[in-house]
Amino acid sequence: MLGLLLAEFKSQVLKFKKDSPFKVFKRIFAHDGCSMGLHKGLKNAFPGRFSETSPAAIELHCTMDLLNDSPDTHAERQYMPDWTDQSSVLGLLDCGYFDTQQMDQWSASNVHYIVRASISINPEIVACSSNPKLVGKKLKDAYSKFKQRQPTDLQVRWKGCEHNVRLIVRWNRDQKQFESLATNLQEDQFSADDVRQGYRLRWQIELLFKEWKSLTNLKKINTRNPEIAEGLIWASLIGALLRRIMAYQSEQVVDRVLSTWQASKLGTSQITEYWRWFVRKYTDRAKECWDQLMWLWGEEAGRQNKKRDNKKGRCNSGLVMTPTLNV
């Protein structure tokens, strides 16, 4: 059912401006996983990694198509989508998926990526336009030569890999350490700032996980029957997905860009009543509930700070909203 909904209701909600360097990509995938706690009575059927805080939990791995806002769920990390030979696709991954051999294979297959690197990496520097004297040094030996006020753009290589990796190194003032983004995007097309802003688009999948964790009420599934629990888990995720779909579909009605987080928290009673009458084919009553929901979302669920979105949010990478009404 979840797969059917994803296929039927997928629609483009974002696109890049004509002057954005990311306009060359038709699809941008963010892939990540998270642990979602369940009722402790299910600890034998669904044992969690953190036995004290979440004795019962599930691992949810998700690949999100950022331009089409279409999440697809998988049970294990190895089901990450096959991006082989897709030059118009960009993959955004957290450091848990950092793998030098995998990145080498992607480069060989003309697949583009931006991956947050582990702080323990120590490749050899093969090129540095800002300081050629660093060529031949190990990354950790060069940290003392990097400027903290601006990112350093490097070309590095690991043993056993055929292709160089572009590494954007910047100082994290909060963590007080250097952090790196690994990519194979070309320097003449994507500046260091472009790469950093592009990677920030991965935050959309974190927001999706936040919605699912906060609003699906999985910990309230009070049953020790794993089959019933699994059915309720999928039903909860479907409910959260329908809220997000409805929020995007309603933006043209209310003529306002909505916050999916705010929309997820508002209108529970109206949504419940809408689907109640909709499935019974009481169209007049369903429309009345829909109109109430549109008024509520239009008044209370709009994105509040457009200037901040343009400066720091997803629009900073050249993204703009697109019409999504297809009902």
Contact 139, 126 (CB under 8 A): no
Single residue among 140, 173, 205 that ends a domain in this structure? 205
Same domain, 33 and 128: yes
Whole-angstrom distance, CA of residue 167 vs CA of residue 282: 58
* Cβ-Cβ contacts under 8 Å for 258 (sequence gap 6 or more): 247, 248, 250, 251, 297, 301, 302, 303
| Number of domains within the chain | 2
Q: Is residue 210 part of a domain?
A: no
Same domain, 31 and 155: yes
**pLDDT band at 291; cut points 50, 70, 90:** very high
Same domain, 34 and 135: yes
Contact 8, 23 (CB under 8 A): no
Q: Is residue 2 part of a domain?
A: no
**pLDDT band at 75; cut points 50, 70, 90:** very low
Single residue among 176, 205, 234 that ends a domain in this structure? 205
Same domain, 44 and 117: yes
Range scoring the smallest mean pLDDT among 7-21, 193-207, 284-298: 7-21
Same domain, 185 and 290: no
**pLDDT for the residue numbered 301:** 87
Q: What is the mean pLDDT of residues 277-283?
A: 92
Would you call 316 helix, strand, or coil by DSSP? helix
Q: What is the mean pLDDT of residues 71-88?
A: 53
**pLDDT per residue as tens digits for the range 137-191:** 999 999 999 988 899 999 999 999 999 999 999 999 888 999 999 999 999 999 9
**pLDDT band at 74; cut points 50, 70, 90:** very low
Q: Is residue 325 part of a domain?
A: no
**pLDDT for the residue numbered 321:** 46
**pLDDT per residue as tens digits for the range 240-254:** 878 887 887 787 788
Given a cut of 80, whether residue 130 has pLDDT beyond it is: yes
Give 177-195 as a DSSP string.
EEEEEEE---TTTS-HHHH
| Residue of 267 and 212 predicted with greater confidence | 267
**pLDDT band at 228; cut points 50, 70, 90:** confident
Q: What is the mean pLDDT of the chain?
A: 80
Global pTM reads 0.76
The pair of structure tokens assigned to 291 is: 């109109």
Range scoring the smallest mean pLDDT among 50-64, 161-175, 187-201: 50-64
The pair of structure tokens assigned to 225 is: 């029957």
**pLDDT band at 323; cut points 50, 70, 90:** very low
Given a cut of 70, whether residue 102 has pLDDT beyond it is: yes
**pLDDT for the residue numbered 11:** 52
Q: Which of 99, 79, 37, 54 lies closest to 236, judged by CA?
A: 37
**pLDDT for the residue numbered 16:** 66
| Residue of 77 and 293 predicted with greater confidence | 293
Given a cut of 50, whether residue 4 has pLDDT beyond it is: yes
| Residue of 103 and 315 predicted with greater confidence | 103
Given a cut of 60, whether residue 71 has pLDDT beyond it is: no
Single residue among 205, 238, 269 that ends a domain in this structure? 205
Give 95-152 as a DSSP string.
GGG--HHHHHHHHHTT-EEEEEPPTT---EEEE-TT-GGGTTSBHHHHGGGS-SSS-E
CATH number, domain containing residue 20: 3.90.350.10
Given a cut of 50, whether residue 27 has pLDDT beyond it is: yes
Which structural domain range is residue 26 located in?
A: 10-205
Whole-angstrom distance, CA of residue 94 vs CA of residue 84: 19
Same domain, 112 and 156: yes
Same domain, 59 and 197: yes
Same domain, 75 and 164: yes
Range scoring the smallest mean pLDDT among 19-23, 303-307, 314-318: 314-318
**pLDDT for the residue numbered 311:** 57
β-bridge pairing 165-172 and 14-16: unpaired
Same domain, 64 and 153: yes
